[in-house]
Amino acid sequence: MREFVFTVEYEKGADEVMDLFIENPDLHSKTMAVHATANSMWRLDRVTGPTEVLETFDTLIDNVALGNAVIGMCGAPVVEWDYEILSSTPNGRIIYSCREEGDGVQSIPYVAAKHIGDGLLMQAERRGNQYQWRLLIADDDTVGEIYEEVQDSLSEGLSLSVQRISEPECWLEEGFGTSGLPPEQQAALEAAVEFGYYETPRRNSVQEISERIDVPGSTLQYRLTRAEAWLAQQFVSDTLGTEVEERVDPAELELSA
């Protein structure tokens, strides 16, 4: 399997929803699931950001969904757009949506589904002026065709680039599992949670926990610090921000075929 990463960059004023992301760098959206056929796309998105920005986001997508002048990234009109907020917290939303585009060249998911067919897997992420798509497929041959069809039809104010054509490493590392932690750091985290170290107020100090599990206090503190640093890096990598990577020259798309 191979991973292809496409990014569409938006100029200010090209899209109402993306304008909100551009104006608010802390606003971030990442798919939990996304599927497409040649006719429709449906997905679950986790959107995070400041409370007041999310309230504006709620109003904006409601207005856009009800409008009749929305177009896709390649100019095809959006003929139907249904959505539902499944979960709402002060700093997050989980949103289900189903969208259909009309005649013309459609957005990346539709074009990919048309060329690849069965077996297509996708992820999507939005932050700032970037809307990034990852495709996981078994065949390199159609990537150039997808790129050319989308590139030739992009709406005004949008530009397309390819960040990566590689082995699917990021798909294998997705999520917040602890498999990347050494066993002793996993055990330190488990003990800290069990004995209330992360509760407010804190039930036990590092020294008190170390005495309970018979590990020197300095050793336990070191393991917790390392584990917390790893978790923070995973959070930033997996949940925040689209990737910023060296762009791939479109001419290189032919080399992998």
**195 and 146 belong to one structural domain:** no
Domain assignment present for 247? no
pLDDT band at 11 (very low <50, low <70, confident <90, very high): very high
Q: For residue 68, what pLDDT is reported?
A: 72
Domain assignment present for 252? no
For the chain, what is the mean pLDDT?
Answer: 84
Of 166, 201, 216, which residue sits at a domain end? 166
Domain assignment present for 205? yes
Task: State percent of the chain over pLDDT 70.
Answer: 86
**136 and 10 belong to one structural domain:** yes
Instruction: Look at residue 240 and tell me whether its pLDDT is greater than 60.
Output: no
**151 and 95 belong to one structural domain:** yes
pLDDT band at 178 (very low <50, low <70, confident <90, very high): low
Half-sphere exposure of 255 (CA within 13 A, CB side): 7
The total of structural domains in the chain comes to: 2
Which has the higher per-residue pLDDT, 246 or 130? 130
Amino acid residing at 155: S
Token code pair at residue 240: 């925040």
pLDDT band at 138 (very low <50, low <70, confident <90, very high): confident
Place of tokens 């990598």: 237
Domain assignment present for 246? no
Of 166, 199, 225, which residue sits at a domain end? 166
Average pLDDT over residues 38-52: 90
The dihedrals phi and psi of 64, each to the nearest 5 degrees, come to -65, -40
Domain assignment present for 251? no
**133 and 197 belong to one structural domain:** no
**101 and 37 belong to one structural domain:** yes
Exposure string of 161-199, with b = 16+ CB inside 10 Å and e = fewer, is bbbbbeebebeeeeeeeeeebeeebebbbebbeebebee
Domain interval for residue 146: 2-166
**134 and 229 belong to one structural domain:** no
Which has the higher per-residue pLDDT, 180 or 89? 89
pLDDT band at 152 (very low <50, low <70, confident <90, very high): very high
Domain assignment present for 253? no
**148 and 189 belong to one structural domain:** no
**63 and 34 belong to one structural domain:** yes
**132 and 9 belong to one structural domain:** yes
pLDDT band at 10 (very low <50, low <70, confident <90, very high): very high
Q: For residue 238, what pLDDT is reported?
A: 59
**27 and 136 belong to one structural domain:** yes
**Range 21-25 contact pairs with CB under 8 angstroms and sequence separation of 24 or more:** 21/126, 21/127, 21/128, 21/129, 22/128, 22/129, 24/49, 24/50, 24/53, 25/127, 25/128
**10 and 125 belong to one structural domain:** yes
Domain assignment present for 136? yes
Of 166, 201, 222, which residue sits at a domain end? 166
**192 and 161 belong to one structural domain:** no
Q: For residue 74, what pLDDT is reported?
A: 92
Domain assignment present for 216? yes
Sequence-separated (6 or more) residues with CB below 8 Å from residue 200: none
Q: For residue 244, what pLDDT is reported?
A: 47
